[in-house]
Structure 1
Amino acid sequence: MPMLIAKRLLGALPNLLGIVLITFLLTRALPGDPAAFFAGPAGTQEAVQQVREKLGLNRSLPEQFWIYVKDLARGDLGNALSTGQPVRQELISRLPASLELVLASLVFAVSIAIPLGIAAARHPNSWIDHACRLVTTAGVSLPTFFTGLLLAYVLYYLLGWAPSPIGRMDPYLTAPAAVTGFYTIDSLIAGDVKLFVASAKQMILPVLTLGIFVLAPLARMTRASMLAVLSADFVRTARASGLSTPTVLVRYALRNALLPVVTTLGMVFSFLLGMSVIVEKVFAWPGVGSFALEALVASDYAPVQGFVLTMAVLYTLLNLVIDLLYVVIDPRVRLAS
C-alpha cells in the first residue's frame, strides 16, 4: 500500500508541473492589463508603468515564470491585489466553505443515486426505472446556474421553505469558532444546535443544485453496472442457494458493481469542484470559486493561478483515494498494481 501511494504521488508531479506552466501562460494571455485596472480609470501612463514595474509585468515571460516558480517552491503563492491579502491565506480561509458545499452535495447525491440505480436495475422497465431515466436526463440537461435560480425562485421566493441565498450564515448570527472550517461541524463541536440548524439551512439550495447535477451520472452508472452484474452466473447461484435478497444485492451484486461507480464518483467530484464556481456566485457563497472568479474579472493573476493549482492538488489526492478504494473493493487490483 505505501508503495502504491508513493508511485501515484510521484506520477502526479509531472502533471502538476505542466499545470503550473499552462496556468501561468494562460493567465498572461487574458485580455486586459492588470496594471491599468489597478491604476484606476484616472491613472496616467506613468502611474500604469509604475504599477507594471511593481508587479513585475515589465519583465520577460521566462523571467516572470522563474520568479513564480521560486516563490512557489517557498510556498508563496503571491498576493491578491484585489484584497491585499496573501493568496495562500485567502485560499486557506475560503477552501473549507467550498469543500463543505462539495462534500455535502456528494453525500446527498450518493445517498439518492445508488439506491435509485439499484432499484431501477432490479425492476427494469418499471415505473421506478422510468423515474430514474427521467431524473438522470433532467440532471444532465439542465444547466447548473438555471437549476440554482429555479430552486431559489420556487423554494425561497414562492414557497418560503428555504432561507434567503445570502451566503453561509444569516447576517444576524455569528459564525462558530473555527476548528475545521465547516460551519456545520464547528457548530456541533461548540454544542450550538441552533447555529447548526441555521448553517445547514443555508446549504439547502446550493447542495440541491450541485447534488442534482452529479446525481444523474451516478444513478445511470449504478443502474447499468447493476444490470450487468445481476445477470451474472454467480448472482443466480447465490439466489439458488437460498441467500436473502439483501445479502445477494449488497454482498454479491453491489460490491462487484462498485468499481465503475467509484470511477464515476471520482469524475463527478472533479465536476463538482468546477461547478462550485458558478454555484458559489449564484448563492453568494464565500468559497475559493467566487474568489477566483472575482480575481479573473480583475485580471489578478496570482489568485487564479493559486486556485487552479489548489484544484489540481485536490484532484490528484482524489485520484489517489480512488485508487485505494479500488484495492479495498477488489483485492485483485492490488496484484495488478
Structure 2
Amino acid sequence: MLTQLTKRLATAIPSLIGVIIVTFLLTRVLPGDTAAYFAGPAASAEAIEEIRVKLGLDKPLYEQFVDYIGALFSGDLGVSLTTGQPVIEDIITRLPASAELTLFGLVVAMLIAVPLGIVAAVKQGSWIDHACRIVATAGVSLPVFFTGLLLVYVFYFILGWAPAPLGRLDVFFSAPEPITGFLLIDTLLVGDLETFWAALAQLAVPAATLAIFALAPITRMTRASMLSVLSSEFVRTARASGLSPYKVVVTYAFRNAMLPVITTLGMVFSFLLGANVLVEKVFAWPGIGSYAVEALIASDFAPVQGFVLAMAILYVLLNLLIDLLYGVIDPRVRMEG
C-alpha cells in the first residue's frame, strides 16, 4: 500500500508543476492592467509605472516566473493587493468555510443518493427507479447557480423558512473564537447550541444547492454498479444459499459495488470545489471561491495563483485518500500494491 501511494504521489508532482506553470502564464495574459487598476482612474502614467515596478511587473516574464518559484519554495504565496494580507493567511482563514460547505453538501448528497441508487437497482422498473432517473436528469440539467437562486426564492422569499443568504452566520449572532475553522464544530466545542443552530440554518440552503448538483452522478453510478453486481454469479449463489435479501444486497452486492462509487465521489468532490465558486457568490459565503473571484476581477494575480494551487493540492490529497479506501474495501488492491 505504501509503495502504491508513493507511486501515485510521484505521478502527482508533475501535475502540480504543470498547474503552477499554466496558472502563472494565464494570470499574465488576462485582460486589464493590475497597476492601473490599483493606481485608480485619476493616476498619472508615472504613478502607474511606479506601482508596476513595485509589483515587479516591469520585469521580463521569465524573471517574474523565477521570482515566483523562489517565493513558493520559501512558502510565500505573495500578498493580496485587494486585502493587503499575505495570500497564505487569507487561504487558511477562508478555506475552512469552503470545506465545511463542500463536505456538508457531499454528505447530504451521499445520504440520499447511495440508498436511492441501491433501492432503484433492487427494484428495477419500479416508481423508485423512475424517480431515481428523474433526480439524476434534473441534477445534470440544472446549473448550480440557478438551483441556488431558485432555493433562495422558494425557502427565503416565499416560505420564509431560511435565513437571509448573507454569509455563514446571521448578524444577530457572534461566531466563537476559531478552533478548527469549521463553524458547526467550533460552536459545539464551546457548547453554544444557539449559535450552532443559527449556523446550521445558514448552511442548509447552500449545502442543499451543492447536494442537488452532486446527487446525479452518485445516484447514477450507484444504480449502475449495483445492477452489474446483482447480475453476477456470486450474488445468485448467495441467494440460492438461502441468505436474507438484506444480507445479499448490503453485505455481498453493495461492498463489491463500492469501488466505482468511491471513484465517483472523488470526481464529484472535485466538481463541487469548482461549483463552490458560484454558490459562494450567490450566498455571500466568505470562502476561498468568492475570494478568488474578487481577486480575478481586480486582476490580483497572487490570490488567483494561490487558489488554483490550493485546489490542486486538495485534489491530489483526495486521490491519495481514495487509494487508501480502495485498499480498505478490496484487499486485492493492497496485494497488487
TM over 0.5, shorter chain: yes
Are 1:208 and 2:211 counterparts? no
**What are the superposed Cα offsets for residues 75-124 of structure 1, whole Å, 9 maximum, x if unpaired?**
00000000100000000000000000000001000000000000000111
CA shift at 1:8, angstroms? Answer: 1.9
Matches within 5 A, 1:87-102: 87-102=87-102
Which residue pairs with 2:12 in the alignment? 12
Whether the aligned pair in 2 keeps the contact of 1:35 and 1:52 (CA below 8 Å) is: yes
Amino acid at match of 1:168: R
CA shift at 1:3, angstroms? Answer: 2.5
Are 1:319 and 2:319 counterparts? yes
Counterpart CA distance in 2 for 1:242 and 1:54 is: 77
Matches within 5 A, 1:33-48: 33-48=33-48
Counterpart CA distance in 2 for 1:10 and 1:222 is: 31
Which residue pairs with 1:147 in the alignment? 147
Which residue pairs with 1:186 in the alignment? 186
Are 1:308 and 2:304 counterparts? no
Counterpart CA distance in 1 for 2:211 and 2:308 is: 23
Which residue pairs with 1:196 in the alignment? 196
Whether the aligned pair in 2 keeps the contact of 1:277 and 1:289 (CA below 8 Å) is: yes
Are 1:32 and 2:39 counterparts? no
**What are the superposed Cα offsets for residues 124-167 of structure 1, whole Å, 9 maximum, x if unpaired?**
11100000000000000000000000000001110111111000
Which residue pairs with 1:79 in the alignment? 79
Which residue pairs with 1:114 in the alignment? 114
Residue correspondences, number: 337
Amino acid at match of 2:74: R
Counterpart CA distance in 2 for 1:191 and 1:205 is: 24
Unaligned runs of 5+ in 2: none
SS of aligned partner of 1:203: helix
SS of aligned partner of 1:71: helix
C-alpha RMSD of the superposition: 0.7
SS of aligned partner of 2:77: coil
Whether the aligned pair in 2 keeps the contact of 1:144 and 1:275 (CA below 8 Å) is: yes
CA shift at 1:13, angstroms? Answer: 1.0
CA shift at 1:247, angstroms? Answer: 1.2
Amino acid at match of 2:162: A
Which residue pairs with 2:57 in the alignment? 57
Counterpart CA distance in 2 for 1:239 and 1:186 is: 48
Amino acid at match of 1:98: S
Amino acid at match of 1:194: E
**What are the superposed Cα offsets for residues 227-249 of structure 1, whole Å, 9 maximum, x if unpaired?**
11111111111111111122111
Counterpart CA distance in 2 for 1:191 and 1:172 is: 18
CA shift at 1:335, angstroms? Answer: 2.5
Which residue pairs with 2:227 in the alignment? 227
Whether the aligned pair in 2 keeps the contact of 1:177 and 1:190 (CA below 8 Å) is: no
Unaligned runs of 5+ in 1: none
Counterpart CA distance in 1 for 2:4 and 2:123 is: 40
**What are the superposed Cα offsets for residues 166-193 of structure 1, whole Å, 9 maximum, x if unpaired?**
0000111110221110000000000111
SS of aligned partner of 1:79: coil
Give the TM-score of the pair, scaled to structure 1: 0.99
SS of aligned partner of 1:299: coil
Which residue pairs with 1:329 in the alignment? 329
Counterpart CA distance in 2 for 1:246 and 1:282 is: 42
Which residue pairs with 2:279 in the alignment? 279
Counterpart CA distance in 2 for 1:99 and 1:224 is: 29
Counterpart CA distance in 1 for 2:294 and 2:238 is: 57
Which residue pairs with 1:244 in the alignment? 244
Amino acid at match of 2:286: P
Are 1:258 and 2:266 counterparts? no
Counterpart CA distance in 2 for 1:184 and 1:282 is: 21
Give the TM-score of the pair, scaled to structure 2: 0.99
Structure 1 residue ranges (4+ consecutive) displaced by more than 6 angstroms after TM superposition: none
SS of aligned partner of 1:80: coil
Which residue pairs with 1:123 in the alignment? 123
